[in-house]
Amino acid sequence: MMHCTRVLAALAAFAACVAAQTSTPSAGTYSRIKVHGKSLEGNLSGEPADRDVSIYLPPSYQSQSNRRYPVVYLLHGYTNSDVGWFGPESRGSFANGNTMTAAADRAFIGGGTSELILVMPNAYTMYQGSMFSNSVTTGDWEGFIAKDLVAYMDSHYRTIPERASRGLAGHSMGGYGTVRIAAKYPQVFSSIYILSACCLTASLNPNPQSSAKAEALKSPEEARGAERGLATLLAEAAAWSPNPQKPPFYFDLPAKDGKLQPAVVAKWVANAPLAMIDQYVPSFKTLRIGMDVGDKDGLAASNRELSRVLNGYGIPTAFEVYDGDHTNHIVDRMEKVVLPFFAKTLAAR
Amino acid sequence: MPRSPLWFCSLAVVFAALLFSQEKGDVSKGKAQGKGNNLIRPLADLEKDLRGKLERIKVHGKSLEANLEGDSADRDVFVYLPPSYHREPNRRYPVVYTLHGYGLHAEQWVGFANFASLEEDVAAGTAKEMILVAPDAFSLHNGSFYSNSQTTGDWETFLAVELVGYIDSHYRTLANRASRGLVGHSMGGYGTFRLGMKHPEVYSSLYSMSACCMLDTGEVTPALAQMEAIKTKEDAAKVPFGQKSPLARAAAWSADPKNPPLFFDLPVKDGKPQAVIAAKWMANSLMVMLEQYASSLKKMKAIQMNVGLQDGLLQTNRDMDQALTQAGVAHNFETFEGDHNGQVGLNFATKVLPFFSAQLAFGPEVKKK
């Protein structure tokens, strides 16, 4: 009898083990939550301080209830949003069901990439993008991501709440944000990946006519759905030359009545990473850095220059120029290069 | 009374006046404004009257190590301890960090600001006993601009993290931001705003005296164009004091590790403006940094700035006052009868020390329940 019980127990244990194996989810879990940004409170544009955030938990997260994971914070590009990467409104290379969720599943299941938690806040604003800057008009987006969002994740999910296990990456405007936030908060992240970063340089002599359409607008409501050129100008003005004394837009434009405003131009210039990066070399020296850009992207030259400047300071960048344009390979790069980069550089337990 | 030769004092005043002349882009104005009067009190004279103690120490800056231009990472620092410091071994004091101007050493600054006036203020009841600290930021080209550069070193981290850490661990300080102030004159006023913007967690009150560098466009002036001829440290050593500040700015703001032996780029090359380099100078101007750091400055308990009505920096300081107001940063702006250098000692005694006595916390931090 005793013997029989033991055999049964052993069989039961074996069965349970098999069941556990087979019940390991074959996919990660996606959810969209709201996170309050104390750093965004009181912004003059009236942007909600409660932001949508897309969260991807890797396949083993549900079954291994004591396991903790490194986290990669992802920043999307201008005019895009978190759902443009994760669905349902996925676009560009993420379109047709090839979402960030699908790409992460492929990387983590059989792709040989160690599991990571992925987080992407929605930075789509009334002017179609926050520029991830620190502005009284748009809000302190640097603080929102590096402080508020990180604190939220560390207190609500099984993260490894340490710098060594935190990465930051972004595409285009998000690549720009990655450079900015890494420069200012090197104590929060240990690895960054910059994809096709925008806005690395700024002109000292922009076209004085460029502000004309923006000057003609009477209210922020009129700016809704503005064409990309105009919207970009508004987003940059809100992020880089805020003016709390100037309702209803609360920003200054780089030109007024066809005349350049040098003080405003100077502020835009100061927000260009290639103008400010020399003051943040110690930050970048503490980071592992990956960078890439498509050879047919108009931003290839400025990204090459950023890599050259960092290399000049003795900072390696693992910089790669690949066959592609500004958007057509981002999901592949994420799956095959960026996630594996973080799986290697971030500390797991 | 022992006094340094008059030439010493005059020369030092010339140094302090340089920045002003450079900002106007007019080298011929780089002359002493103090007419050789003793604006800088010699240390021996100052110490003679002190009831407290002035210590001269060295503080090693890990953040300054391996700077490309070869400035020492072991910095002179003057620490003034008030009379009661040794009498009352359990008492702790607030600390005011003070930043000197371009062309000066900390030793001259202690006499220029006249630290001894704190004891007269205390006797008169206009200020309270506190510790004063003066780090030396004299560099290869006569001033670090308190910036973060691989060529001159990371002065921001040295001052806000390492020096504060050293003082807090070696002296009986009230080691919290409520009891820490920062003041500076000219280049030091620039450093005061800059450090306040980047490290609001360290200081709670700022006093900017006649700050420089509100908006530096890197415009190719004749003075700047002349600097192209300077190729070596030996060339640089021969540049008269009155013309040297563009070299210091380039070292601070447009470092280039691939351009030995001076390791910087100028906003001019072959007589032509270099937009990329000019952009770097612009990006380090307080007026353009302001918006991105308004949230830091808003955390300050108090911000005071002043400038003389006869100072060439009057207008740029007025512009900064207006920009701070526009950005919604609470502050006070004050003008006084005087030029860039003539009133520094007087203002330190009658304005700066009373300001910090009123703003800093002189007791232990009260924890919120």
Per-residue pLDDT band at A315 (split at 50, 70, 90): very high
Mean pLDDT of A235-256: 96
Neighboring chain B residues of A271 at a CB cutoff of 8 Å: 292
Indicate whether A23 pLDDT > 80: no
Total structural domains in chain B?
A: 1
Q: Least CA distance to B151: which residue of chain A? A: A278
CB burial of residue B52 (10 Å; 0-12, 13-18, 19+): buried
Question: According to the model, what pLDDT value does residue B11 have?
Answer: 43
- Please, which residues 86-145 of chain B have a Cβ atom closer than 8 Å to chain A? none
Mean pLDDT of A70-91: 96
Helix pair angle (B6-23, B245-253), 10° resolution: 60
| Identity at A200, one-letter amino acid code | L
| Identity at A245, one-letter amino acid code | Q
Q: How far apart are CA A83 and CA A225, in angstroms?
A: 18
Are A127 and A217 in contact, with CB atoms under 8 Å apart? Answer: no
Nearest to B100 by CA among B178, B247, B180, B209: B209
Question: According to the model, what pLDDT value does residue B259 have?
Answer: 97
Write out B147-194 in H/E/C secondary structure. Answer: CEECCCEEHHHHHHHHHHHHHHHHCCECCCHHHEEEEEECHHHHHHHH
Q: Is A260 on the interface with B (CB under 8 A)?
A: no
Q: Is B240 on the interface with A (CB under 8 A)?
A: no
Are B251 and B233 in contact, with CB atoms under 8 Å apart? Answer: no
Q: Is A130 on the interface with B (CB under 8 A)?
A: no
Indicate whether A10 pLDDT > 60: no
- Please, which residues 4-43 of chain A have a Cβ atom closer than 8 Å to chain B? 39
Instruction: Say if B68 falls within a structural domain.
Output: yes
- Please, which residues 216-245 of chain A have a Cβ atom closer than 8 Å to chain B? 240-245
Q: How far apart are CA A311 and CA A318, in angstroms?
A: 10
Instruction: Say if B365 falls within a structural domain.
Output: no
Q: Least CA distance to B254: which residue of chain A? A: A278
Q: How far apart are CA A131 and CA B60, in angstroms?
A: 39
The SS3 of residue A193 is: strand
Contacts of B352 (CB under 8 A, 6+ apart): B113, B183, B207, B209
Instruction: Say if B161 falls within a structural domain.
Output: yes
- Number of CB pairs < 8 Å for A and B? 98
Instruction: Say if B42 falls within a structural domain.
Output: yes
Neighboring chain B residues of A243 at a CB cutoff of 8 Å: 326
Q: Is A269 on the interface with B (CB under 8 A)?
A: yes
Question: According to the model, what pLDDT value does residue B3 have?
Answer: 40
Q: Is A180 on the interface with B (CB under 8 A)?
A: no
| Identity at B150, one-letter amino acid code | Q
Nearest to B102 by CA among B164, B16, B33: B16
User: Is the sign of the CA dihedral A210, A216, A218, A223 positive or negative?
Assistant: negative
Percent composition of chain B: helix, strand, coil (DSSP 3-state, to 5): 45, 15, 40
Q: Least CA distance to B148: which residue of chain A? A: A279
Question: According to the model, what pLDDT value does residue B24 have?
Answer: 41
Q: Is A262 on the interface with B (CB under 8 A)?
A: yes
pLDDT digits (tens, 9 = 90+) for B188-211: 999 999 999 999 999 999 999 999
Name the phi and psi angles at B201, rounded to 5: -80, -10
Could B279 and A272 be called an inter-chain contact, meaning their C-beta atoms sit closer than 8 Å? Answer: yes
Indicate whether A339 pLDDT > 70: yes
Q: Is B157 on the interface with A (CB under 8 A)?
A: yes
Closest-CA distance, A35 to chain B, in angstroms, reads 21
Could B326 and A280 be called an inter-chain contact, meaning their C-beta atoms sit closer than 8 Å? Answer: no
Closest-CA distance, B280 to chain A, in angstroms, reads 4
Could B282 and A278 be called an inter-chain contact, meaning their C-beta atoms sit closer than 8 Å? Answer: no
Could B280 and A278 be called an inter-chain contact, meaning their C-beta atoms sit closer than 8 Å? Answer: yes
Q: Which of A241, A244, A275 sits opposite B280 (nearest CB)?
A: A275
Contacts of B35 (CB under 8 A, 6+ apart): none
The SS3 of residue A162 is: coil
The SS3 of residue B109 is: helix
Are A58 and A117 in contact, with CB atoms under 8 Å apart? Answer: yes
Instruction: Say if B364 falls within a structural domain.
Output: no
Cα A349 vs. chain centroid, distance in angstroms? 24
Ordered by start, the domain boundaries in chain A are: 26-201+274-345, 208-267
Closest-CA distance, A117 to chain B, in angstroms, reads 30
- Can you tell me the ipTM of this complex? 0.87
Question: According to the model, what pLDDT value does residue A21 have?
Answer: 46
Q: How far apart are CA B65 and CA A123, in angstroms?
A: 39
Q: Is A250 on the interface with B (CB under 8 A)?
A: no
Are B266 and B254 in contact, with CB atoms under 8 Å apart? Answer: yes
Q: How far apart are CA A348 and CA A331, in angstroms?
A: 24
Average pLDDT over chain A, rounded to an integer: 93
Measured CA angle at A270 (ends A318, A207), to 5 deg: 105
Indicate whether A22 pLDDT > 80: no
Neighboring chain A residues of B289 at a CB cutoff of 8 Å: 270
Nearest to A128 by CA among A224, A37, A30: A224
| Identity at A206, one-letter amino acid code | P
Q: Least CA distance to A242: which residue of chain B? A: B291
A235: alpha, beta or left? (left if phi > 0; alpha if psi -120 to 50): alpha
Of 3.20.20.60, 3.50.50.60, 3.40.50.1820, 3.40.190.10, which CATH number belongs to A26-201+274-345?
3.40.50.1820
Strands B131-135 and A319-322: unpaired
Two structure tokens written together for A214? 């923006």
Neighboring chain B residues of A136 at a CB cutoff of 8 Å: 291, 294-295, 327-328
B345: alpha, beta or left? (left if phi > 0; alpha if psi -120 to 50): alpha
Q: Is B322 on the interface with A (CB under 8 A)?
A: no
Neighboring chain A residues of B148 at a CB cutoff of 8 Å: 279-282
Are B201 and B177 in contact, with CB atoms under 8 Å apart? Answer: yes
Parts of chain B with a pLDDT under 70: 1-37, 365-369
E-assigned strands of B264-368? Answer: 268-269, 272-273, 302-308, 332-336
Q: How far apart are CA B172 and CA B161, in angstroms?
A: 17
User: Is the sign of the CA dihedral B220, B221, B225, B230 positive or negative?
Assistant: negative
Q: Is A133 on the interface with B (CB under 8 A)?
A: yes
Per-residue pLDDT band at A8 (split at 50, 70, 90): low
Instruction: Say if B80 falls within a structural domain.
Output: yes
Q: Is A339 on the interface with B (CB under 8 A)?
A: no
Q: Which of B157, B254, B280 sits opposite A282 (nearest CB)?
A: B157
Instruction: Say if B55 falls within a structural domain.
Output: yes
Indicate whether A148 pLDDT > 70: yes
DSSP state of B173: B
Name the phi and psi angles at A112, rounded to 5: 80, 10
Count of CB atoms situated within 10 Å of the CB of A339: 27
Question: According to the model, what pLDDT value does residue B77 have?
Answer: 98
Neighboring chain A residues of B287 at a CB cutoff of 8 Å: 263, 266
Q: How far apart are CA B361 and CA B11, in angstroms?
A: 38
CB burial of residue B316 (10 Å; 0-12, 13-18, 19+): buried
Q: Domain containing B92 — which CATH number?
A: 3.40.50.1820
Half-sphere exposure of A24 (CA within 13 A, CB side): 12
Question: According to the model, what pLDDT value does residue B364 have?
Answer: 79
Print the domain residue range for B139: 6-359
Q: Least CA distance to B280: which residue of chain A? A: A275
Could A282 and B63 be called an inter-chain contact, meaning their C-beta atoms sit closer than 8 Å? Answer: yes
Q: How far apart are CA A103 and CA B190, in angstroms?
A: 49
Q: How many residues does chain B have?
A: 369
The SS3 of residue B268 is: strand
Furthest-apart CA atoms within chain B: distance in Å: 64
